[in-house]
A and B are shown apart, each in its own frame.
Chain A
Amino acid sequence: MDLPRLETILSRYEGETWDLIPVLQDIQDSYSYLPKDELQVVAERLNVPLTQIYSVATFFKMFSLIPKGKHQIKVCCGTTCHLRGGGRVAESMSHRLGVEVGYTTKDMQFSLETVGCLGSCAQAPVVMIDDRYFGRTTVDKVPKILKLYK
């Protein structure tokens, strides 16, 4: 366990119960998942039962209990993107990367997920990789987009 890293995160908060979600968010951002041992420490420090931590961790979509890949691919399947072929873009990504939606490639490079709406609906279908947006994506643009990260 990387205690100093966790301590840095915990030191940003006052250690109250309501700090739980922000703490988990910081851990998720820093580790790309919520490691078990770390959660144990969080439970003690915030005085929150481990069961509650797990119920929170599984309720919200941003949390993952297993490590995620280096790059997070979010394919929008919000209403506008759905109507304009976001589903096919997701399928093409999945096929090209050889990974099901919701999973991470074996080499830990990419995690692929579909999301509700990325807020750039005027350019549907939209894909977000890490913090960068791609608009008006189509199946034939997928290889070009992926290449930027390979």
Chain B
Amino acid sequence: MPRFESTDHLREYRRQLVAKRDPNQTQVMVCAGPGCLPMGSEEVAAAFREEFEKNGLGAKVLLKECGCHGLCAGAVRVLIRPQEITYQHVTPEDVPEIVEKTLKEGQVVDRLVYEDLHSHEKAVHKGEIPFFKGQMPIVLRKLDVIDPTSMDDYLAMGGYRGLRQALLEMKPDEIIDAVDKSGLRGRGGGGFPTGRKWRICQDELEEPKFIICNGDEGDPGAFMDRAVMEGDPHAVLEGMIIGAFAIGASKGYIYVRHEYPLAVRRLQLAIDQAREAGFLGKNILRSGFNFDIQISRGAGAFVCGEETALIHSMEGNIGEPSPRPPYPAQAGLFGKPTVINNVETWANVPEIINMGADWYAGIGTENSKGTKVFSLVGAVNQTGLVEVPMGTTLRQIVYDLGGGIRQDREFKAVQTGGPSGGCIPAQFLDLPVDYDSLQSVGSIMGSGGMIVMDTTSCMVDVARYFINFLYEESCGKCTPCREGLKNLLFILDEIIHGRGTEEQLALMEELCDTMAAASICGLGKSAVNPIRSTIKYFREEYLAHIRDKKCHALVCRPLLKYTIDPETCTGCLACVRECPVGAISGKKKLPQELDQELCVKCGLCYEACQFDAVHIE
């Protein structure tokens, strides 16, 4: 990688890079994104390498391990260019056939192709798969094209063009104007207008100024930021450098969640490459601008995703939030003006500069511009990452892209916004998704987790899950949050044990009012959303637990009873081996007995039984 001393140099390098590349080059893109890695991406890639070696294809075919291809349900996914053939559920055993048939003979391996669950129609090419129709990839655009460890790949896709333009053709004010005009709002949850935040920071006189990228991605069920950091790390860097130049910052930090070791490695490599190329460091592209980026690893605390807590932990303190104002843009890291934005927010910036503010503002709804990446998970058939224009309806996302509910069960709710969000019932499926509409139904956009639930989920259990999560993660600094969560958890436990009362439901709502009004940070303030939304939309489920002592979804353990059906039990003893308390006994090959007194209702026997002989009621 050369050090780029001028824009001409960069332009010439890019031109040569593109000219050198043969558009007909056969490329095998093995997905090594967050959804495919656990299903064996590395083994599949290794099998390809071995097979290329055997067939002497090593020099002809390019193998890339790249970021998320989107439709993670089909892990491990493989995309073959230039034909754009997509294969799913690929295992190392399938690889010799792919090499033989597709790479050598140009045929499609039929059994690895996407098949529509309902129509059974097959789709060979990415563009024909319903999941990808209706999407508009901006942030995810490069994920299945580039090798995230190759800066050349990023440059060949037009990377660092936005930076070049910003640094050499625009004044800081013009950049901020463009971001402002684009209508970009923060993708980390709050939705604060990004341009306005930058302006506040730019107006501060205090020096030095800092930039932070919030890669804490604490919302369980969300993995968009992970996919971007791992799959297109340079886009995050480019956005940050542009932002730093606009507000006049000299140092940037990327705060990455402790659970994302690969993201740390990919970002570090990208930073090293960008330094070598002269996009980071002194006198960037000879513009006179100096800026560098460093990674800061999280240490495992949800509340540190909150900007003030994050800053405190970067200063070496415990991650307790502090009241705002002052906002970080006024007094942030080490008391200096600091712009903190989410990963996806930063990744949008180069595109806005490249394509223009008007283009971006032309996408989306009145008050929410551009696209949003969602991690669509839970009870849908097609789980994965989707990027849609703001204003796409929930129904389009869940049914058209997500392919509907697994096993044709009934849709119950979609949960957005992580622990700070709410559960949205079926009556709002036609809601166009944007910041304001989600808020109007008692949830929030949040960072982009979208967890679909069907009739096997109990909404009381879901509420308890989030409250328990927040109870454990609350920093305990302020009383309404600390004590409120404790009491909410206590009440929910009573209800789940069949000891709840209807008065307690009212009490929960009262607790919510206090917490929303008096907590210091968003964790406590919005902890009320899971409670309020479930009580409002799923009151009858609470009442079933309270009045009838029943959990119809068969989730709340204390209200369940496990039995073994002597007719179907084969005496295989699979359940006996699983039971942690020795509650199941009997002779081999004879029906087993389950001792209700000993049973702790863990359900392990139910899952272990291959003959459906364990019943729940």
Chain A residues at the B interface, C-beta cutoff of 8 Å: 17-22, 24-25, 46, 48, 52, 55-56, 59-63, 74, 78-85, 88, 91-92, 94-95, 115-124, 126, 128, 131, 133-136, 138-140
Contacts and interface: CB of A to CB of B under 8 A. Distances in A.
How many B residues touch the partner, as a band? Answer: 35 or more
20 contacts: A63-B299, A79-B221, A79-B378, A79-B462, A80-B221, A80-B377, A83-B462, A88-B604, A95-B578, A117-B222, A119-B222, A119-B257, A119-B260, A122-B34, A122-B383, A123-B75, A133-B38, A135-B75, A136-B39, A139-B578
Contacts of A80: 220-221, 377-378, 451
Interface string B425-452: 0000000000000000000000001010
Interface in B531-588: 574, 578, 580
Nearest to A122: B72
B220 A120 contact: no
A61 B301 contact: yes
A122 B375 contact: yes
B404 interface: no
Contact of A61 (B297, B300, B451): B300
A138 B316 contact: no
B517 interface: no
A79 B220 contact: yes
A120 to B, nearest CB: 5
B4 interface: no
User: In the complex, which of the residues A21, A48, A81, A119 has the most CB atoms of chain B within 10 Å of its own CB atom?
Assistant: A119
A60 B299 contact: yes
B395 to A, nearest CB: 20
A120 B299 contact: no
A135 B314 contact: no
Given A88-B602, A139-B604, A139-B607, A22 B296 contact: yes
B34 to A, nearest CB: 5
A79 B38 contact: no
Nearest to A121: B377
B577 to A, nearest CB: 9
Contacts of B466: 79
Interface string B103-140: 00000000000000000000000000000000000000
User: In the complex, which of the residues B299, B314, B475 has the most CB atoms of chain A within 10 Å of its own CB atom?
Assistant: B299
* 4 closest A-B pairs by CB: A78-B220, A135-B38, A61-B300, A122-B72
B469 interface: yes
A126 B38 contact: yes
B318 A88 contact: no
A128 B38 CA distance: 9
A122 B580 CA distance: 29
A61 B578 contact: no
B259 A122 contact: no
User: In the complex, which of the residues B297, B317, B379 has the most CB atoms of chain A within 10 Å of its own CB atom?
Assistant: B317
Contacts of B226: 119
A91 to B, nearest CB: 5
B316 A25 contact: no
Contacts of B313: 21, 60
B316 A21 contact: yes
User: In the complex, which of the residues B35, B302, B316 has the most CB atoms of chain A within 10 Å of its own CB atom?
Assistant: B316
Contacts of B383: 121-122
A136 B38 CA distance: 9
B100 interface: no
B603 interface: yes
Contacts of A81: 220
Nearest to A135: B38
Nearest to B380: A122
Contacts of B221: 78-80, 117, 121
Given A21-B299, A56-B318, 15 more contacts: A17-B315, A48-B316, A62-B258, A63-B299, A79-B466, A83-B453, A83-B462, A95-B604, A115-B259, A117-B218, A121-B377, A121-B451, A122-B375, A135-B75, A140-B608
A122 B607 contact: no
B301 A60 contact: yes
Nearest to A92: B604
Contacts of B301: 59-61
A86 B44 CA distance: 26
Contacts of B370: none
B319 interface: yes
Contacts of B38: 120, 123, 126, 133-136
Contacts of A116: 218, 220, 259, 302, 469, 473
B73 interface: yes
Contact of A83 (B302, B315, B319, B378): B378
Contact of B319 (A20, A59, A94): A59
B604 A60 contact: no
A133 B299 contact: no
A121 B604 contact: no
Contacts of A24: 299
B604 A91 contact: yes
Contacts of A48: 316
B21 to A, nearest CB: 31
A115 B302 CA distance: 11
Contacts of A74: 259
A128 to B, nearest CB: 8
B483 to A, nearest CB: 19
A52 to B, nearest CB: 7
A42 B238 CA distance: 36
B292 interface: no
A124 to B, nearest CB: 7
Contact of B384 (A52, A79, A122): A122
B26 interface: no
Given A62-B299, A88-B607, A123-B72, A135 B39 contact: yes
Contacts of B384: 122
